Structure 1
């Protein structure tokens, strides 16, 4: 008997109800749209380090994303690690507006990717591999250059955006 035959299917509502208990950092994946030259971006809560040697990072994108195809065509992109207080940046990039960067301060990196002002750090990358992840695509990216500043991260937890709070428990 196969494992699939004895394991019940997890329903999307149950999956979300359990996973919302796990906090994630918030990262903005950004590039310059080749068709327009304007910055484009999206938000992920699945960003993480993958390998030190070679330096690789990973994140996943919903197959229904309309922003990812624009970023994917450029091959080069930046990951901006959002800081506490950058909730408006997160909301703008998570939205469906034509110009998501209208109210976002940013500058071009040496690679031409957008670096968002006030972010905790940025990582310029190139796509290394895309893998099937069900209703998402798992992206593995090679790190080209990176830098960080001090500060606290923007955190997503339980359907809310906020800052990190250190535990006072001994």
Structure 2
């Protein structure tokens, strides 16, 4: 027996959003340096995930209407900084509209020329392997060029139910 055809009209976007709020997501910053202007660009994603170990691939999705992603994508390489629980202001700064979002954020340049946000839990340097449209998003698949764990212990920044939080282990 085959599955019924997907009828998007049966799923109301507000209801979909309300149900998905129950799923906590990690918060990651995707950043790059524009190869022409030298300006650093950044954005926040809540969909960053491991995709494959051999080869090492990661994935995330971004709204196709994003003004930040095309600027980042032109570089071909970018960094992903996994944000720590005390980096809510970094997240808010990168979520705002505008240019030069890293202007007031402390960062260091990686060996690949990508911005690593100081204080993050880990960093990945990545190269875009594939992009494709899925619904109202662009799905990005990237190869991991390098990765570095943080030198400090902290909980990750988590987004859940429309709020930021952190993970605490049960006693």
TM-score scaled by structure 1? Answer: 0.93
Q: Is the 8 A contact 2:30 2:80 kept in 1?
A: yes
Unpaired stretches in structure 2, ≥5 consecutive residues: none
CA separation in 2, counterparts of 1:83 and 1:59?
18
Q: Which residue of 2 aligns with 1:138?
A: 139
Q: Is the 8 A contact 2:109 2:115 kept in 1?
A: yes
Structure 1 residue ranges, 4+ long, deviating more than 6 angstroms after superposition: none
Q: Which residue of 1 aligns with 2:84?
A: 83
1:88-123 deviation per Cα after TM superposition (whole angstroms, max 9, x unaligned): 000000101322112100011111100000000000
Q: Is the 8 A contact 2:41 2:99 kept in 1?
A: no
Q: Is the 8 A contact 2:82 2:123 kept in 1?
A: yes
CA separation in 2, counterparts of 1:156 and 1:66?
22
CA separation in 2, counterparts of 1:47 and 1:65?
16
CA separation in 1, counterparts of 2:65 and 2:170?
37
Q: Which residue of 2 aligns with 1:151?
A: 154
Using the TM superposition, give the Cα deviation of residue 87 of structure 1 relative to its aligned residue in structure 2, in angstroms. 0.1
Using the TM superposition, give the Cα deviation of residue 153 of structure 1 relative to its aligned residue in structure 2, in angstroms. 0.3
Q: Which residue of 2 aligns with 1:120?
A: 121
Q: Which residue of 1 aligns with 2:93?
A: 92
Alpha-carbon spacing, 1:130–1:86, altered in 2? closer, same or farther (3 Å) = same
Backbone CA RMSD of aligned residues: 1.7
Count of equivalent residues: 168
TM-score scaled by structure 2? Answer: 0.93
Is 2:165 the counterpart of 1:162?
yes
Q: Is the 8 A contact 1:34 1:70 kept in 2?
A: no
Q: Which residue of 2 aligns with 1:55?
A: 56
